[in-house]
Amino acid sequence: MIGRSRRSRSKAAAPQGGRRSADPSRRPGPRRSPGRRAPVPWGPGTLAGQVLLLQVIVVLVLVAAAATALVLQGRYDGENDARKRSLAAAEAFAHAPGTALAFKAPDPTKLLQTPVMQAQAGAGIDFISVIDVHGVRLADTQPRLIGTKATDVSRAIAGETFTDTFRGKPADAVRAVVPVMDASRRVVGVVTAGIQVVNLGHLLDQQVPMVLGSAALALALATAGTALVSRRLRRQTHGLGPAEMTRMYEHHDAVLHAVREGVLIVGADGRLLLANDEARRLLDLPADADQRHVTQLGLAPELTRVLVAGEVVSDEVCPAGDRLLAVNTRRTAPYADAPGLVASFRDTTELRALSGRAEVARERLTLLYEAGVRIGTTLDVRRTADELAQVAVDRLADVVTVELLEAVLHGEEPTGAMHRMRRTALRGSRNPLQPVGDLIRFVVADTPMVAALRRGKAVRVPDLRAAEDWRAQDPQGARQVLAAGIHSLIAVPLRARGVVLGMVNFWRGAGSPRFEEEDVAVAEELGARAAVAIDNARRYSREHAMAVTLQRSLLPRDLPEQDALEVAWRYRPAQSGVGGDWFDVIPLPGFRTALVVGDVVGHGLHAAVTMGRLRTAVLNFSSLDLPPDELLGHLDEMVARLDTPAEGAGGEGSLVTGATCLYVIYDPVGGHCTFSRAGHVTPAVVDPVGRVVFPDLPLSPPLGVGGHPFETGELVLPEGSRLVLFTDGLVEDRRRDIDEGLAMLATAVAHPDQTPEDTCRALMETMLPEHPSDDVALLVARTRLLDPSRVAVWDVPFDVSAVSRVRTRVSRRLSEWELEESAFATELILSELLTNAIRYGAPPVRVRILLGSTLVCEVSDGSNTSPRLRRAATTDEGGRGLFLVSQFADRWGTRYVANGKVIWAEQSLGGARQPDASMLLDQMAW
């Protein structure tokens, strides 16, 4: 009964007034105009006829789609079967015992042609072709193709078996390509087998009659079923057309729902049968109110009593929530088949204006509450200003603009120059105002903005058309604003700690009332809350800028020149602030290079300063040319000493504990790489073909823990390998764990043709969001090897007489390298170092000469005693050897190895260094 009117067929007397006919023979049904012919029951004008036509069309479309799907499935099955048959034939021929041996015969074609023809006939396929590693056909079922070039078999020559649909000459075909391998698993040829595409159609031709017959049968059955459904529908609709039925229900809905009076129909059992829109609004009925008992609708007790009693009442006032309703009830009998009750309601609330004011006050309180939650969610000045505009627009004003002083935007202390501000935020659908980024100047002294800044309080302008000073400041802009319908303004200065930071302006346009005095208090409260948030963001921006400047100054600006590695790097600070991630590249003697990556836990100035101290310490320790484990040991002791004063001061200082470090030394002579790490994540190693591994290196505790020795791990890297050193911020994030991050990193760097710069770019784009939560340091180095022809090594007998022989060999090697101008200085340096090693050292003694961008001479022995440079007295017979070395070499030094020490001296190419003659003569005066 819901949504449809019914007329009673009762024989009771008509009500007074003669509105109801007394003829009981009248039956309910649609009324037609006189002279209008009834529609044909199955004609296109009836609902049943249209439904029948539509369903037949749908069935035709579905049957056609099913037939098409079957045809496509048949084609797919044919191609799939062809692939399997071709692959089986190709693999059988390629793996046959004599196939691989035939490629080594003087005339492979003679041995392969006959088996090819037999295999093609036995397998039931169209062709088999045998191809050598150069792509030339050696045998084919079409002899005319022997000797021609085959295409698209490079993958099989590389060792891959595959099937595909070949498009080209001699014919389109579904083929399988299988490599032929000899006993050593080396590809010696390729076998292709396949079926031509034109021969796949016979399977489809066999299926088409069956498909068409099934489609015709399905169409017939579906049409018959549709006809039965439409016949039933024709009986129920009495042959009416859609337009007539739609018009009948539209009239019913128009009468029921368009009236501004609530209507309820309640059945004899007390269940709700029908409720119009107005009744649902006035009574606040739930969406599923239909067929529920009136006692379950949540109505007021008095109203529920009236509906349950079923009595006839007129204009009885009942409360319903915050409304007072006038209720009228009537019984449905004798106007309906079933007994029930009809109730109508009118809203007679007389306190609407007062409730409206209460609603406005509630909205204002809600606005202020939301402002406290939504303004200042980030420590960004511009974002905070935009949040203020976003909260106020459409709730307090139609357009909101925020202007801030330039100093505030840069994080500096606000100055007294308040006549120049930068527009920072603009919100609103109608905004003919100056856009974000424009400079706003206040040149007229009595404008609302200037008055608000001078007084430090909000200024309200109810009617902008009457504000002559505001119009005089920018006549053209004022005309555009007024033309857009903006008519009212509240200007509020943004003040924090007694200092003006900027201004917020609230504008109202056409369709909104003027600002009232009550709105000023809300606007000032919004401005006060936003000013505090903006000032906090400004101070944070200043501290963040200071920390970034400090950290940038502590990180390396340019990487040093060295011959061992091709290096690229990236550093990305965290969104929340500056952190303690750092890196470094340090050239070492003997063309070796040290790579360092570290991470100090935490953010801010303390982390940046700690990072600088650790980096400086690593630079100092590396100058001693220590092994990685010893260097980390010294660094650990230094961190422990730095922590000691902080603990003694009662915990007022911040501890350094939590820093991690990875120290790597790479030697281009042989590609030897030594690692040591203190709590740091394992680096990635990418070999020249793109394979990525994370080597299992010894892991020691973070720096500052103490009590644990540091260990080293060693790798030998081929030339062209890439070392990827990074901090945990690159692979670990709130959205993923470290294992997932390492997998993503391996995928991003697994490309053999990537340069270090390409690798850095790919990792930054793939791994990091726009605003990372942790800072990231990334260092990528590609290895180089020193040419073996530029390395000379001699084992020296532990005898002083061997010095001259070694000197002669070195001189001969320098002549081969065309470095005759460096021969004298090199021989002198070598003589002094080698004589010292034999006299004061221990066997074994070895000499190594390295030629790169400089010339390096190294003498190693088994003693740990290190010589030192001193000034010999006039009466001393010795002690001048290392002085001579220091005069003729650009640099010299000592490093300790596992079984002794190495004394090295480095000379620049292009001529020997000229020593200080006066000092040299002074030392030689004895």
Asked which of 179-193, 240-254, 885-899 is least confident by mean pLDDT, the reply is: 240-254
Please report the pLDDT score of residue 240 as a whole number: 62
Instruction: Tell me what the mean pLDDT of segment 131-136 comes to.
Output: 86
The answer to whether the CB of 3 falls within 8 A of the CB of 252 is yes
Please report the pLDDT score of residue 19 as a whole number: 38
Residue 655 predicted with pLDDT over 80: no
Residue 246 predicted with pLDDT over 90: no
Distances (CA, A) of 57 to 50, 61, 67, 670: 11, 6, 15, 79
Please report the pLDDT score of residue 640 as a whole number: 82
Q: How far apart are CA 246 and CA 241, in angstroms?
A: 9
Q: How far apart are CA 714 and CA 898, in angstroms?
A: 14
Q: Which tokens sit at 179?
A: 């490599």
**pLDDT-based confidence at 699, cuts 50/70/90?**
very high
Q: pLDDT, tens digit, for every residue of 321-331?
A: 777 788 888 88
The residues, any chain, with a CB within 8 Å of residue 235's CB and separated by 6 or more, are: none
CA 478 to chain centre: 45
Whole-number average pLDDT of the chain: 80
Residue 793 predicted with pLDDT over 60: yes
Which amino acid appears at position 746 of this protein?
Answer: A
The H or E element spanning position 724 is strand 722-726
Q: pLDDT, tens digit, for every residue of 48-62?
A: 666 767 777 887 787
The answer to whether the CB of 137 falls within 8 A of the CB of 150 is yes
Order of strands, sheet of 399-404, starting from the edge strand that comes earlier in the sequence: 439-441, 420-427, 399-404, 499-508, 488-496, 459-461
Please report the pLDDT score of residue 649 as a whole number: 47
Q: How far apart are CA 423 and CA 293, in angstroms?
A: 60
**pLDDT-based confidence at 911, cuts 50/70/90?**
low
Order of strands, sheet of 162-166, starting from the edge strand that comes earlier in the sequence: 137-140, 127-132, 187-196, 173-181, 162-166
The residues, any chain, with a CB within 8 Å of residue 353's CB and separated by 6 or more, are: none
Residue 648 predicted with pLDDT over 50: no
For strand 672-678 and strand 699-700, is the pairing parallel, antiparallel, or unpaired? parallel
Q: How far apart are CA 397 and CA 425, in angstroms?
A: 14
Torsion of CA 237, 240, 244, 247, to 10 degrees: 0
Residue 917 predicted with pLDDT over 50: no
Query: What DSSP letter does each residue of 811-834 carry, written as one string?
Result: HHHHHHTT-GGGHHHHHHHHHHHH
Q: pLDDT, tens digit, for every residue of 311-368?
A: 788 878 787 777 778 888 888 776 666 678 888 887 776 545 455 566 667 777 788 7
Please report the pLDDT score of residue 33 as a whole number: 42
Please report the pLDDT score of residue 27 as a whole number: 40
Q: Which residue has the tokens 């003919």?
A: 432
Q: Is 879 left (phi over 0), alpha (psi -120 to 50) or beta?
A: left
Residue 133 predicted with pLDDT over 50: yes
**pLDDT-based confidence at 749, cuts 50/70/90?**
very high
Please report the pLDDT score of residue 46 as a whole number: 64
Asked which of 118-127, 339-348, 721-730, 864-873 is least confident by mean pLDDT, the reply is: 864-873
CA-closest candidate to residue 501, choices 404, 388, 406 = 404
CA-closest candidate to residue 754, choices 765, 766, 746, 762 = 762
Report which of residues 926 and 563 the model is more confident about.
563
The residues, any chain, with a CB within 8 Å of residue 669's CB and separated by 6 or more, are: 590, 591, 785, 786, 791, 850
Please report the pLDDT score of residue 141 as a whole number: 85
Q: pLDDT, tens digit, for every residue of 402-437?
A: 999 888 888 888 876 677 889 999 988 767 888 888
Query: What DSSP letter does each residue of 163-204 carry, written as one string?
Result: EEEE-SSS--EEEEEEEEE-TTS-EEEEEEEEEEGGGGHHHH
**pLDDT-based confidence at 211, cuts 50/70/90?**
low
Please report the pLDDT score of residue 609 as a whole number: 79
The total of other beta-carbon atoms located within 10 Å of residue 62's CB is 14
Asked which of 153-162, 339-348, 602-611, 725-734 is least confident by mean pLDDT, the reply is: 602-611
**Hey, which of 175-184, 438-447, 640-649 has the most confident mean pLDDT?**
175-184
Residue 38 predicted with pLDDT over 60: no
The total of other beta-carbon atoms located within 10 Å of residue 833's CB is 27
Q: How far apart are CA 458 and CA 520, in angstroms?
A: 7
The dihedrals phi and psi of 208, each to the nearest 5 degrees, come to -60, -45
The answer to whether the CB of 776 falls within 8 A of the CB of 769 is no
Q: How far apart are CA 428 and CA 394, in angstroms?
A: 8
Burial (CB < 10 A; 0-12, 13-18, 19+), residue 808, is: exposed
- Predicted TM-score (pTM) of the model is 0.52
Residue 9 predicted with pLDDT over 70: no
The answer to whether the CB of 232 falls within 8 A of the CB of 307 is no
The H or E element spanning position 505 is strand 499-508
The H or E element spanning position 857 is strand 854-861
Residue 713 predicted with pLDDT over 90: yes
Q: How far apart are CA 900 and CA 865, in angstroms?
A: 8
The answer to whether the CB of 459 falls within 8 A of the CB of 451 is yes
Residue 654 predicted with pLDDT over 60: no
Q: What percent of the chain shows pLDDT beyond 90?
A: 18
Residue 14 predicted with pLDDT over 50: no
**Hey, which of 197-201, 610-614, 704-708 has the most confident mean pLDDT?**
610-614
Instruction: Tell me what the mean pLDDT of segment 211-235 comes to.
Output: 73
Please report the pLDDT score of residue 674 as a whole number: 95
Return the SS3 of 116.
Answer: helix
For strand 439-441 and strand 459-461, is the pairing parallel, antiparallel, or unpaired? unpaired
Residue 477 predicted with pLDDT over 80: yes
Instruction: Tell me what the mean pLDDT of segment 143-156 comes to.
Output: 84
Report which of residues 187 and 36 the model is more confident about.
187
**Hey, which of 475-479, 600-604, 787-791 has the most confident mean pLDDT?**
787-791
Q: How far apart are CA 157 and CA 178, in angstroms?
A: 9
Please report the pLDDT score of residue 243 as a whole number: 67
Q: pLDDT, tens digit, for every residue of 847-870?
A: 999 998 889 999 999 888 777 655
Residue 785 predicted with pLDDT over 90: yes
**Hey, which of 119-123, 379-383, 674-678 has the most confident mean pLDDT?**
674-678
Instruction: Tell me what the mean pLDDT of segment 387-416 comes to.
Output: 85
Return the SS3 of 374.
Answer: helix
User: For 228-278, what is the HEC assignment?
Assistant: HHHHHHHHHHCCCCHHHHHHHHHHHHHHHHCCCCEEEEEECCCEEEEECHH
Q: What is the gyration radius of the CA atoms in the chain, in angstroms?
A: 47
Q: Which residue has the tokens 């692979």?
A: 731
Please report the pLDDT score of residue 545 as a whole number: 73
CA-closest candidate to residue 913, choices 860, 834, 854, 833 = 854
Please report the pLDDT score of residue 711 as a whole number: 93
The answer to whether the CB of 478 falls within 8 A of the CB of 470 is yes
Asked which of 287-296, 516-525, 580-589, 708-717 is least confident by mean pLDDT, the reply is: 287-296
Q: Which DSSP category does 442 fall into?
A: -
The answer to whether the CB of 763 falls within 8 A of the CB of 706 is no
The answer to whether the CB of 314 falls within 8 A of the CB of 343 is no
Order of strands, sheet of 845-851, starting from the edge strand that comes earlier in the sequence: 791-796, 845-851, 854-861, 900-908, 891-897
Please report the pLDDT score of residue 407 as a whole number: 85
Helix axes 352-374, 381-392, angle to 10 degrees: 170
Q: Is 513 left (phi over 0), alpha (psi -120 to 50) or beta?
A: beta
Burial (CB < 10 A; 0-12, 13-18, 19+), residue 223, is: middle
Q: Which DSSP category does 789 fall into?
A: G
Distances (CA, A) of 712 to 93, 673, 864, 899: 53, 10, 21, 16
**pLDDT-based confidence at 511, cuts 50/70/90?**
confident
The total of other beta-carbon atoms located within 10 Å of residue 241's CB is 18
Please report the pLDDT score of residue 321 as a whole number: 75
Report which of residues 754 and 119 the model is more confident about.
754
Residue 25 predicted with pLDDT over 60: no
Q: How far apart are CA 713 and CA 719, in angstroms?
A: 19
Residue 611 predicted with pLDDT over 80: yes
Q: Which tokens sit at 654?
A: 């911040």
